[in-house]
Amino acid sequence: MQKFTTFTGLAAPLDRANVDTDQILPKQFLTRVERSGWGQFAFYNWRHRPDGSPDPGFVLNQARYRGASILLARENFGCGSSREHAPWALLDFGFRVVIAPSFAVIFRNNCFQNGLLPIELEPQMQDEWFRRVQAKEGYVIQVNLRDQVLTGIDGFACQFGIDPFRKRCLLEGLDDIGLTLQDEAAIQTHEQTHRQPWQAAVAGVTK
Amino acid sequence: MPTLLDKIWQSHLVRQSPGQPDLLFADRHLLHEVTSPQAFEGLRVKGRGVRRPDLSYAVVDHVVPTSGRELPWADQVAWTQLQALRANCREHGIMLLDISDPRQGVIHVCMPELGLTLPGNTVFCGDSHTTTHGAFGALAFGIGTSEVEHVLATQTLPQAKPRTLAVRLEGQLPPGVSAKDLILYVIGQLGVAGGTGHVIEYLGSAVRELSMEGRLTLCNMAVECGARGGLVAPDETTFAFLRGRPFAPQGADFEQAMAHWRTLYSDEGARYDRQVSLDISGLQPQVTWGTHPGQVMEIAGRVPTPDSFRDPDAVKAAQRALDYMGLKPGQSLGDAAVDVVFIGSCTNGRLEDLQAAAALLKGRRVAPGVRVLVVPGSGQVKAQAEALGLAEVFMAAGCEWREPGCSMCLGMNPDTLSPGQRSASTSNRNFEDRQGRGGRTHLCSPATAAAAALAGRFVDPRQYM
Ligand code: SF4
């Protein structure tokens, strides 16, 4: 996984609550079997009109947000389908950070797995960032993960919370699977001590 | 006093260390074609194998066509995805219910009916509706593709323990009102993020009286209020359902298993992080009016005015939803013409659901111009429905009787809505574009969907009963 320490980028405001993963990465693209190249489909149905032309009304199509890498979002961001294609699409589109008052749990897990940092802020604080980003063109935010601080281009700053384990994984770029494989002995012990007699019979008919 | 969640959690704990999420053992790992290819690819890149292929079970369901299975499919990319699943299962020795397998179906329909999900199990699957399996008193989580890879490689999953939310449903469901109405009502009450971070344990007399099918519907949609999982403690209904299923324990093993399963409940005095009690005795059939499952109303009610919501975000969301849905504040849904009716999905694609719909359609004809797709949740459901004469009822009424799969629940196969088309759907998500770009989805029960098919608009299904 890509390490994450500090990051500075242009912020874009997506002012909608309950943005679901179907909107972030519409299902018509889900049939690809690759892990890369998903950015072109991010928010596809919002970025494009039904005839395929760009929809100038959508915030990410506005010139002032071109190249944005920090997404400001609203409540319950990433709800719906568990598809990890949604964070893949956001990352490949150029986002490294999503800031919202709350996230759907599976989506948040998926972000951490891919080095996309989901930051949760109090709703009032999030309102403040929205105001600032919307008021000033070219509003850049610096994200300092080690100190857990967001700093705006105008000097406005706030702290954010993060699970210490997640933080460590991001800072060190740790691979979850690699970590768990170090527990091989514990896994084996569990398998041996928790084998129920009736479960053996289940395994017997699986082939 | 432990809750049911505590008991299952404790018995699956592989490792617990401070500052790290707990490591849970996976009893069942379910796989399908959409969220698994990149996980297998990840294993390959790292030179890792599948630790317990004997505890991994795969099925193809999301992209399969539901009208005829002629090969190859028109959609080349979907076809590639099927080929990838086949190759991965073959390579790692994983059981696959392929399209020609009579047991094939939507993953959350066909796996439980095979007896694969047992009380007290942990069940992980790269699909958010994995919550369905909680109906057996199993701890079942939807996971992302990186986590799928993690389970494949280690048969474990690192997880922070969720909080608990007890949802107590007391009273008796009125006739003609089903588990689907119940869960839509619950989501409306809790809100679409009302269960976030929690596992919901459903308790109370209304839950005890539900069939296994009804409980599956209830747990299926736990995720629609953000919950990590749903749980119903196993009881005689659960045991009767499991007895004799091909993958459930057999004979003396079953008796022994049952003795253990009887210990799986939340102890008297167990503490939950939150509790909600609802009396559902007067519950009316429910239907969604907006673009998330929490935007729901009684079928005879009126579409709300956005200003009636207190929270400014909810006002904005309601405005946007009404706009998208082509509805006016205060209007009755009886005025909105339905173009398509979809009966199926992992929410309502089981035999009981088809029976409920067929009971209304029997001897009647679908309203002119309404397209009705009936998609059984699995090959077994299809066979049973055909044996019971339900398929004939549907076809005589003018419905399409199709092959099992996810179908119009998410429209990844050719079953989709056209822009502006309105559907009455027994599935679980009414998000924008979910059933096809610009499609307008109203979620409801199988009976309400059947009534919409007959009337060509939303009416109280009880008038046909
Ligand atoms: S039926 Fe719908 S919700 Fe269920 S697994 Fe298929 S796509 Fe997902």
Burial class of B312 by CB neighbour count within 10 A (0 to 12, 13 to 18, 19+)? exposed
Label residues A35-55 b or e (16+ Cβ within 10 Å = b): beebeebbbbbbbbeeeeeee
Phi and psi based region of residue A42 (left: phi greater than 0; alpha: psi -120 to 50; beta: remaining) = beta
Q: Is the pLDDT of residue A94 over 90?
A: yes
Q: In angstroms, what is the span from residue B405 Cα to ligand 1's centroid?
A: 8
What is the C-alpha separation between B275 and B287, in angstroms, rounded? 25
What is the C-alpha separation between A77 and B24, in angstroms, rounded? 27
Residue ranges with strand state E in chain A = 6-13, 70-72, 97-100, 117-120, 140-144, 149-152, 157-159
- Report pLDDT for A196: 74
Q: Is the pLDDT of residue A203 over 60?
A: no
Residues B356-367: pLDDT tens digits? 999 999 999 999
- Report pLDDT for A200: 52
- Report pLDDT for A197: 66
What is the C-alpha separation between A73 and A58, in angstroms, rounded? 14
Average pLDDT in the B232-255 region? 96
Q: For residue B261, give how far its alpha carbon lies from the nearest alpha carbon of chain A (Å).
A: 12
Q: Is the pLDDT of residue B439 over 90?
A: yes
Which residues of chain B are within 8 Å of residue A164 when distances are taken between CB atoms?
A: 19
Give the residue, by CA position, lying nearest to ligand 1 atom 6. Answer: B406
Question: For residue B428, which atom of ligand 1 is closest to its CA?
Answer: 3
Does the beta-carbon distance from A190 to B432 stay under 8 Å? no
Say how many residues make up chain A.
207
- Report pLDDT for B271: 96
Residues B156-178: pLDDT tens digits? 999 999 999 999 999 999 999 99
What is the C-alpha separation between A140 and A106, in angstroms, rounded? 28
- CA B427 from chain centre, in angstroms, equals 8
* CB B154 within 8 Å of CB A187: yes
The encoded tokens of residue B455 equal 């009337």
Residues B247-299: pLDDT tens digits? 999 999 999 999 999 999 999 999 999 999 999 999 999 999 999 999 999 99
Q: For residue A66, give how far its alpha carbon lies from the nearest alpha carbon of chain B (Å).
A: 25
Which has the closest alpha carbon to A141: A112, A99, A109?
A: A99
Q: Is the pLDDT of residue B52 over 90?
A: yes
Best of B127, B224, B342 for a ligand 1 pocket test (most atoms within 8 Å of beta carbon): B127
DSSP B98: -
Q: For residue B455, give how far its alpha carbon lies from the nearest alpha carbon of chain A (Å).
A: 31
The Cα diameter of chain B in Å comes to 64
What is the C-alpha separation between A117 and A108, in angstroms, rounded? 9
Question: For residue B347, which atom of ligand 1 is closest to its CA?
Answer: 4
- Report pLDDT for A206: 40
Residue B406 CB less than 6 A away from ligand 1: yes
* CB B358 within 8 Å of CB B390: yes
Residue B125 CB less than 6 A away from ligand 1: no
Nearest chain B residue to A196 by CA distance is B257
The helix (H) or strand (E) run that includes residue B425 is: strand B422-425
Report the predicted TM-score, pTM, of the whole model to 2 decimal places. 0.93
Q: Helical H runs in B262-378?
A: 312-325, 345-348, 351-361
Which has the closest alpha carbon to B25: B43, B48, B52?
A: B52
In the three-class reduction of DSSP (H, G, I as helix; E, B as strand; rest coil), residue A193 is classed as helix
Across all residues in chain B, what is the average pLDDT?
95
Q: Is the pLDDT of residue B319 over 60?
A: yes
DSSP secondary structure string for all residues of A14-55 = ---SS-BHHHHS-GGGTT---SS--GGGTTHHHHB-TTSSB-
Residue B64 CB less than 6 A away from ligand 1: no
Average pLDDT in the A139-165 region? 97
First to last CA, chain A: 35
* Residue bearing the bigger pLDDT, B70 or B289: B289
The encoded tokens of residue B343 equal 């009966």
Q: Helical H runs in B225-350?
A: 236-242, 251-261, 312-325, 345-348
Best of B32, B35, B62, B342 for a ligand 1 pocket test (most atoms within 8 Å of beta carbon): B62
Residue B129 CB less than 6 A away from ligand 1: yes
- Report pLDDT for A204: 39
Which residues of chain A are within 8 Å of residue B25 when distances are taken between CB atoms?
A: 187, 190-191, 194
What is the C-alpha separation between A129 and A141, in angstroms, rounded? 10
In the three-class reduction of DSSP (H, G, I as helix; E, B as strand; rest coil), residue B287 is classed as strand
Residues B336-393: pLDDT tens digits? 999 999 999 999 999 999 999 999 999 999 999 999 999 999 999 999 999 999 999 9
Q: Is the pLDDT of residue A207 over 80?
A: no
Q: In angstroms, what is the span from residue B410 Cα to ligand 1's centroid?
A: 7
What is the C-alpha separation between B432 and B229, in angstroms, rounded? 24
Average pLDDT in the B101-130 region? 96
First to last CA, chain B: 45
- Report pLDDT for A33: 84
Q: For residue B292, give how far its alpha carbon lies from the nearest alpha carbon of chain A (Å).
A: 8
Q: What is the dihedral of CA B334, B336, B339, B344, to 10 degrees?
A: -60
What is the C-alpha separation between A168 and B62, in angstroms, rounded? 36
Which residue type does B455 have? A
Burial class of B62 by CB neighbour count within 10 A (0 to 12, 13 to 18, 19+)? buried
Residue B412 — pLDDT band, cuts 50, 70, 90?
Answer: confident
Average pLDDT in the B242-246 region? 96
* CB B423 within 8 Å of CB B441: yes
Which residues of chain B are within 8 Å of residue A205 when distances are taken between CB atoms?
A: 246-247
The Cα diameter of chain A in Å comes to 66
- Return the bridge partners of B274, or none: B165
Q: In angstroms, what is the span from residue B383 Cα to ligand 1's centroid?
A: 20
Q: Is the pLDDT of residue B138 over 70?
A: yes
Residues A54-71: pLDDT tens digits? 999 999 999 999 999 999
* CB B99 within 8 Å of CB B404: no
**Residue in this structure with the two tokens 């610096």, named with its chain if needed:** A142
Residues B309-318: pLDDT tens digits? 988 888 999 9
Radius of gyration of chain A (CA): 20
Please report, for chain A, how many H helices and E strands are present, in that order: 9, 7
CB-nearest partner of B193 from A23, A76, A179: A76
The encoded tokens of residue B127 equal 């699909």
Does the beta-carbon distance from B193 to A102 stay under 8 Å? yes
Q: Is the pLDDT of residue A130 over 70?
A: yes
Neighbours of B230 (CB within 10 A): 30
What is the C-alpha separation between A32 and A85, in angstroms, rounded? 10
Radius of gyration of chain B (CA): 21
Q: For residue B408, give how far its alpha carbon lies from the nearest alpha carbon of chain A (Å).
A: 12
What is the C-alpha separation between A167 and A117, in angstroms, rounded? 9
Residue B127 CB less than 6 A away from ligand 1: yes
- Report pLDDT for B59: 97
Which residues of chain B are within 8 Å of residue A105 when distances are taken between CB atoms?
A: 196-197, 226, 228
In the three-class reduction of DSSP (H, G, I as helix; E, B as strand; rest coil), residue A173 is classed as coil
What is the C-alpha separation between B150 and B405, in angstroms, rounded? 27
DSSP secondary structure string for all residues of B337-402 = BP-EEEE-HHHH-SHHHHHHHHHHHTT--PPTT-EEEE--SBHHHHHHHHHTTHHHHHHHHT-EE-
**ipTM rounded to 2 decimals:** 0.89
What is the C-alpha separation between B180 and B292, in angstroms, rounded? 15
The encoded tokens of residue B19 equal 């500052």
> A33 and chain B: CB distance < 8 Å anywhere?
yes
Which residue type does B175 have? P
